[in-house]
Chain A
């Protein structure tokens, strides 16, 4: 006989186990036993995830602290690392290559630092996402929790990392004469939308990386290409002025460029709305919603298989 189990698949007629007269599936049904490790419904999954919110937060914080716990300067590196990063990019692109293309120095340097930090946020979320499952297989095979906790937790860790970088960014912006004003309030929605986008991307990468760990080797090259194409070190419309218009439009509409430009718009006094593509907020929200929802569903679809590695 065949019968439908609670997850909707049709079970083939189960052979009777030797010491029982009853087929296993029927016996299980009679006593209310459920299939171990079956994927919960999407609603139930969200509920389970919400129950684990404290774990997700604690795990991300623990990872963040563990990062520098052996260093003598300790947590000071949270701020020192982005500061050094910004300095290196400034020397290469600001002094040696002179990529500012006519932008005054007091705009270009905060422009560059903002770009580097905002893009690094997405980049490190993707890289952490690829390894979220494949690098934590021991944990996946030992304890029960909705597996999405891991990629979400890693994305959250990157958000906390970015908040440290923001301290450096504020100092740079103020140092070059961009004082806090009302437009700085826009930083909050920009960060929130980018975080949603990153989390979705991390979820997608986590599922892909669980199946194909080789992605961890490939992604740095993809991310670097994306970085150079998103105008981290230069203004896309100015740099591509002699190319067909559609190239610049496509590049400007890519999510990384959108979040970067919005952040610059919020922070810098001289970086006005003329530098932003049309419907920029709709694009920022659309990318965030598309990736967060799509990534979540995509990840959930393979929930019961992550232990296989």
Chain B
């Protein structure tokens, strides 16, 4: 019964009948007035005002070392939620995710503060990702150079709120990409900025992918999935619709979306 498990294939991520449910306060259908809210609370228990969104419904798969797994599906199909659950950031309603080491999401936006200078944000972001002060000091110049923030003057010492949206996105990506990861997950639309920076960041993602054991990539761009992934999971309405080699799944997906 264990013949499927070949010796050279070491599993790094196992999802077992995974269900994720979001609870949204104050979004229950019906009247939104204060009295309506009060009567809902009084009627029965605290769960009355809460609406549940079942985002991932019973997804199971096993990912192996060295695999690059693409996640596709229409908007709101549960791709990002699934990534967060694999990373252990969102608790599962039922089912489990087993991982080798600590998977990390590529992205540091939430830790950065617009009122601080770019310089301090590099340090804060690095610390938030779990880098040590020495590691940050070592990589600091590399991060700043990569972002290209200082190409047009000394912008790194200005607060981030003064940056253009493109500049801020570049700095955020540069900070996030500074750390090496064991199991790496990349959410779509990370490679922002001008054309020159896009090329540079795509290259960096490729590098990170090489260093990481297993990579998950969420994208709406079928070309970038084709270029980088050897396996694709297709999610639709929170359910795993298809799981297989990239070409097969994308072909079906394109048929489905009518391309």
Contacts and interface: CB of A to CB of B under 8 A. Distances in A.
Given A65-B115, A142-B89, A307 B124 contact: no
B146 to A, nearest CB: 20
Interface in B96-112: 96-100, 102-105, 107-111
A65 B4 CA distance: 56
B116 interface: yes
Contacts of B14: 17, 24, 27-28, 33
Contact of A37 (B1, B89, B129, B159): B89
A143 B128 contact: yes
B11 A27 contact: yes
A307 B84 contact: yes
Interface in B78-105: 84-92, 96-100, 102-105
Given A35-B98, A54-B132, A65-B115, A17 B16 contact: yes
Contact of B23 (A70, A136, A143, A308): A308
B21 to A, nearest CB: 9
A281 interface: no
A20 B99 contact: no
Nearest to B86: A36
A59 B115 CA distance: 13
Contacts of A59: 111, 124, 127-128
Given A24-B14, A24-B98, A144 B104 contact: yes
Contacts of A11: 96
Given A27-B11, A28-B98, A22 B116 contact: no
Contacts of B2: 21-22
Contacts of A25: 16, 96, 98
How many of chain A's residues touch chain B, expressed as a range? 35 or more
A285 interface: no
Contacts of B239: none
B113 interface: yes
B58 to A, nearest CB: 10
Contact of A141 (B90, B98, B99, B113): B90
Contacts of B1: 21-22
Given A17-B16, A36-B86, A62 B99 contact: no
Given A31-B10, A37-B91, A144-B104, 12 more contacts: A17-B16, A21-B4, A24-B15, A24-B96, A25-B98, A28-B98, A37-B85, A62-B124, A63-B113, A139-B110, A141-B90, A307-B90
The 5 A-B residue pairs with the shortest CB-CB distance in the complex, in nearest-first order: A37-B88, A21-B1, A24-B16, A28-B98, A36-B88
25 contacts: A14-B16, A19-B4, A20-B62, A21-B4, A21-B5, A27-B5, A27-B14, A34-B99, A36-B85, A36-B87, A37-B85, A37-B89, A55-B127, A58-B124, A58-B127, A59-B111, A66-B116, A69-B115, A141-B84, A141-B110, A143-B108, A143-B110, A144-B88, A144-B130, A145-B130
